Amino acid sequence: MNAPAPLFTPHWHAELELGYARVGDASRPVLRRHKGPLRVQKHLYAEGPEVCQHIIVHPPGGIAGGDRLDIGATVGAGAWAQLTSPGAAKWYRAAAPAFQQLQLRVEAGATLEWLPQETIVYCAAQAELSTRIELEGDARLFYWDITALGRPAANERFEAGHFQARLDIRRDGQLLWHERQRVAGGDGLLDSPIGLDGQPVFATLITSGEIDAELLERCRELPSRVRGDLTQLPGLIVGRCLAREALHARAWLIELWRLLRPELLGREAVPPRIWST
């Protein structure tokens, strides 16, 4: 008797390339190229023509083993782009790794806000992410990421698989931030007090610029359901938190954004409507 044929699971290789330019007093999308299941919705101007908002959509709704997502964006001189997502990115359990590569370039005088919603890494997923950000001259950056390991609401702990991430930020070729993360399912790091301390969600905020001690203290005193703090480094502000739920981490990041954006980017914070849907 012939052995049954192995199940075939299609792998998605999706690419999205975006470009923005300053045209008069407006930031305009000048490049939008996609391959496979990655898209952006219609560009929005909730704050007026200076800030171009795009919502990145991954129609399959989740990332499976063997999938690869490549996202690139260039914000041209003087332009301002704000990129977010309509919901959580979900990395499913898999027998093989899945990959995401993000490359962002921000030219002199330009501003990029990278504000996605959370990444949920299911138990037994194999998620490998790489992010590279290139800043030129006085380019400005506001970046965050939120990662949830397992699904606490479904009583699912991250007992198998792995999550690894790489983040490099450079200005004019000089390395400003270099980070590696790797968490294996079931590892002692998940519960260790010098690791995640039993909290399944962790988040990072990195923004260019410097603030005074008074604003830094106001940020640190924000009432919150997370365990988090901020650090002022030369040319960068870095925030970290641990949380029980992704919603708590996202709420903390949004409140920090409300405080920091006027000081660092010169505009009041106007939350994208998609965050409320």
Domain boundaries, the chain: 62-276
Whole-angstrom distance, CA of residue 52 vs CA of residue 66 = 33
Can you give the pLDDT at residue 60?
80
Residue 211 carries which DSSP code? -
Amino acid 277 reads T
Of the candidates 165, 153, 76, the residue with the CA atom closest to the CA atom of residue 126: 165
In this prediction, residue 59 has a pLDDT band, given cuts at 50, 70 and 90, of confident
- Tell me the residue length of the chain: 277
Residue 17 has pLDDT above 50, yes or no: yes
Whole-angstrom distance, CA of residue 165 vs CA of residue 90 = 15
Per-residue pLDDT of 254-269, as tens digits, reads: 999 999 999 999 999 9
Can you give the pLDDT at residue 18?
98
Residue 11 has pLDDT above 90, yes or no: no
Whole-angstrom distance, CA of residue 69 vs CA of residue 61 = 13
Per-residue pLDDT of 155-208, as tens digits, reads: 899 999 999 999 999 999 999 999 999 999 999 999 999 999 999 999 999 999
Whole-angstrom distance, CA of residue 210 vs CA of residue 40 = 32
Per-residue pLDDT of 208-253, as tens digits, reads: 999 999 999 999 999 999 999 999 999 999 999 999 999 999 999 9
Instruction: Report the share of the chain in percent with pLDDT over 70.
Output: 96
Residue carrying structure tokens 């901020």: 230
Which residues make beta-bridge pairs with 101?
70, 130
Residue carrying structure tokens 């470009």: 19
Can you give the pLDDT at residue 7?
40
Residue burial 9-33, b: 16+ Cβ < 10 Å; e: rest = eeebebebbbbbbbeeeebebeeee
Average pLDDT value for residue range 76-92: 96
Average pLDDT value for residue range 133-148: 98
Can you give the pLDDT at residue 10?
60
Rg over alpha carbons for the chain, rounded to the nearest Å, is 19
In this prediction, residue 12 has a pLDDT band, given cuts at 50, 70 and 90, of confident
Whole-angstrom distance, CA of residue 115 vs CA of residue 17 = 17
In this prediction, residue 139 has a pLDDT band, given cuts at 50, 70 and 90, of very high
Average pLDDT value for residue range 127-135: 98
Residue 3 has pLDDT above 60, yes or no: no
Of the candidates 261, 191, 256, 266, the residue with the CA atom closest to the CA atom of residue 229: 256
Element (H, E) at 248: helix 246-265
